[in-house]
């Protein structure tokens, strides 16, 4: 069984469109994250939710809006897509937001904005 | 702020060679350290971790020791295989209760040839 899953795996879209990426974890974890990996493989955190509440927002443009309907899901909605949004987006989860918890990553969603 | 610096890649080795990938850090408080591996086209997988100074993490023949005196968490393997070819990421977790996140290095690509 997949622990952290993301859909879609690939997403190709036009500039200006609105798109969503979904993430689900079946590990029973309380905390979920979104990371962005750019074309140079650099990974940076975007958001973190603990029990459906936002706890980290790393100065991401407000075109990006995470939504957590329950603690097993953290979706990422992106409005008015720009070329610079092209990247691989990784979802992750950990037991909780406490110290030193291992984060488990999904397979990534490769977004290409044309 | 906290940061992680990894050696530039790619690192190119022959099978059975000794591997070292350097990772140094700047951090306050009591961080934990992780090595993640990303195989081509896949997400990140936890390779090993260390949660306090002088701890050694190990897995699949890889080792790394958290050394506070040299602010390092270098990754080593005594004899690499072709199947170890991947991108390796060093990361730290700052240890801020309830706002924890991973801060990644830029990744180091390892290429192992038969």
Task: For residue range B21-77, list pLDDT tens digits in order.
Answer: 999 999 888 889 999 999 988 889 999 999 889 999 999 999 999 999 999 999 999
Which residue has tokens 């020791």?
B65
Contact between B104 and A103 using a beta-carbon 8 Å cutoff: no
Dist CA A35 CA B2 (whole Å): 17
How many Å lie between the alpha carbon of B39 and the closest alpha carbon of chain A?
11
Chain A residues within 8 A of B42 when measuring between CB atoms: 107-108
Residue B100 pLDDT exceeds 80: no
For residue B106, give Cα distances in angstroms to A40, A50, B22, B113.
8, 27, 12, 23
Give B14-25 pLDDT, tens digit per residue: 999 999 999 999
Q: What does the alpha-carbon distance between residue A43 and residue A48 come to, in Å, rounded to a whole number?
A: 14
If you ran DSSP here, which 8-state letter would residue B84 be given? G
- Give the C-alpha separation, A92 to A99, whole Å: 16
């Amino acid at each position: 069984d997949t622990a952290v899953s993301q859909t879609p795996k690939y997403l190709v879209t036009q500039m200006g469109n609105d798109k969503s990426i979904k993430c689900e974890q079946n590990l029973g974890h309380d905390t979920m994250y979104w990371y962005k990996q750019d074309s140079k493989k650099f990974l940076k955190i975007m958001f973190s939710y603990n029990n459906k509440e936002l706890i980290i927002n790393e100065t991401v443009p407000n075109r990006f809006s995470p939504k957590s309907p329950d603690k097993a899901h953290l979706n990422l909605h992106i409005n008015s897509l720009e070329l610079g949004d092209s990247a691989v987006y990784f979802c992750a989860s950990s037991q909780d937001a406490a110290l030193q918890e291992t984060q488990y990553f999904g397979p990534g969603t490769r977004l290409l904005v044309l | 702020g906290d940061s992680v610096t990894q050696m530039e890649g790619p690192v190119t080795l022959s099978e059975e060679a000794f591997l070292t990938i350097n990772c140094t850090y700047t951090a306050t408080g009591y961080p934990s350290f992780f090595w993640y591996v990303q195989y081509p086209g896949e997400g990140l997988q936890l390779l090993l971790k260390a949660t306090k100074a002088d701890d050694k993490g190990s897995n699949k023949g890889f080792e790394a020791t958290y050394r506070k005196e040299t602010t390092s968490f270098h990754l080593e393997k005594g004899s690499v295989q072709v199947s170890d070819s991947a991108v390796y990421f060093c990361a730290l977790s700052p240890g801020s209760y309830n706002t924890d996140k991973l801060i990644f290095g830029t990744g180091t690509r390892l290429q192992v040839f038969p």
